[in-house]
Each structure stands twice: as structure tokens, then as C-alpha cells.
Amino acid sequence: MIRTDRILGVVVVIVALVFITSAYNLPQGNLFDKLGPKAFPMIVAVGMILSAAGLILRPDPEADWPATPSLVSIALATLVLIGYAYSLKPLGFLAPTAVAAAILSYQITPRPLPAILTGIGLSGGLFIIFKYALGLGLFAFPRGFFG
């Protein structure tokens, strides 16, 4: 039977093999550094393979994954956060924060008006705290927005 534990185990084994091939090209140790840069990564990779084998051979009962709508919701939240990460610098603090916070808020409790208010409130409130109370160098708007 295919279980998430097994899938993860296989992924980890592949990553560990990449680790080993990559470490293989590193130089051997010398007199002043007997082990050199490759030995410890090899040990870690072998450890990864052994424990992943444990997962593949004896997986736990399947985890309690949420239903599809929730998974879609979580995937959407991830995309929002990625978009937020990219836009924070070019678009300034206020607009991206308000949008991202409003979407997350709506996803937790789906009521549009409170969500929008949460977004605006968090964005403005946090900006004031960060900029004036903690002295972080944030930009409210895109640079050059006001000429």
C-alpha cells in the first residue's frame, strides 16, 4: 500500500543519494584535517537512508490529512505567502501586507468584511509599530511612488 510515510522515505533516499554523489567530488582529508569535507556528509547521508528505510519498511498508519478543499486552501495560502515574499520589496510594506493578511484572515474565518478590516488594520498597525517603535527601515509605498 502506498502511504505518505513511504513516499517521504523514497524522497529522502533520493536526496541522500544526491548528497553522496555531490560529496564524492569533494577532496580527501589531509594531515591537518584528517577527515576532510566529505566524511561527515557521507555519514549523515547514510543515516538519512537508514532512517528512511525504516519509514518505507514499517510505515505508520496514514496521517490524518485534511479533505481536498482544505488542501486547496493551504496551497493557496502558500502561494499568497510566496507572492508576498516577492512583492514586499518592490511594492512597499502597506499594500502587500494588507492583501496577504486579508486573504489569510478570510481563509481562517470566511467573513469578507472583518477579513478586509483585519488586513488594513494589521498592515497599518504593524507598520507604525515596526517603523516608529522599533525603528526598522521599512518603506510604506513603492520607492518613487510620490515622485
Partner 1 sequence: MDLLSNLAIGFEIALSPMTLFLAVVGCFLGTIIGALPGLGPSNGVAILIPITFTMGLDATAALVLLTSVYYGAMYGGRISSILLNIPGDEPAMMTTLDGYPMARNGRAGDALVISGVASFVGALLATIALALVAPYLAKIAYKFGPAEYFALYALAFATLGGMASNNQAKSALASFIGLGIALIGIDNNSGFYRFTGGNLHLADGIDFLVAIVGLFAVSEVFFFIESHGKGSSVGVTLGKVTVPWREIWSTRWTMLRSSALGFVAGVLPGAGASLGSFMTYMMEKSIAGKNGGFGTGVAKGVAAPEAGNNAAAGGALVPMLTLGVPGSGTTAVLLAVLMTLNITPGPTLFADRPDVVWGLIAALLIANFVLLAMNVPMVKVFVRILQVPPAILLPGVTMISFVGIYSLSGSYFDLLLMVGFGVLGYIFRKMDIPTVPVILGILLGYQMENNLRHAMTLSGGEWTYLLSSPISVGLWVAAALGFIAPMFLRRYLRKPQMVTD
Interaction pattern, residues 26-45, with partner 1; x per rule: CB under 8 A: xx-x--xxxxxx-xxx--xx
> Could you tell me the maximum CA-CA distance found in the chain, to the nearest angstrom?
68
Which triple of cell numbers denotes residue 16? 541522500
Residue 8 · residue 55 · CB < 8 Å: yes
DSSP β-bridge partners for residue 33: 30
Chain-centroid distance, C-alpha 41: 23
Q: Which of residues 79-138 bind partner 1 (CB under 8 A)?
A: 81-82, 84-86, 88-89, 93, 97, 100-102, 104-111, 114-115, 118-119, 121-123, 126, 130, 134-138
| SS3 call for 139 | coil
- 140 interacts with partner 1 by CB under 8 A: no
**Nearest distance from C-beta of residue 55 to partner 1, angstroms:** 6
8 Å CB contact between 105 and 114: yes
Q: How far is the CB of 2 from partner 1 (least distance, A)?
A: 14
**Interaction residues for partner 1, span 46-85 (CB under 8 A):** 47-48, 50-52, 54-55, 58, 60, 63-66, 70, 73-74, 77-78, 81-82, 84-85
Minimum distance between the CB of residue 48 and partner 1, rounded to whole angstroms? Answer: 4
The C-alpha atoms of residue 128 and residue 47 are separated, in whole angstroms, by 48
Closest to partner 1 by CB, 25 vs 147, is: 25
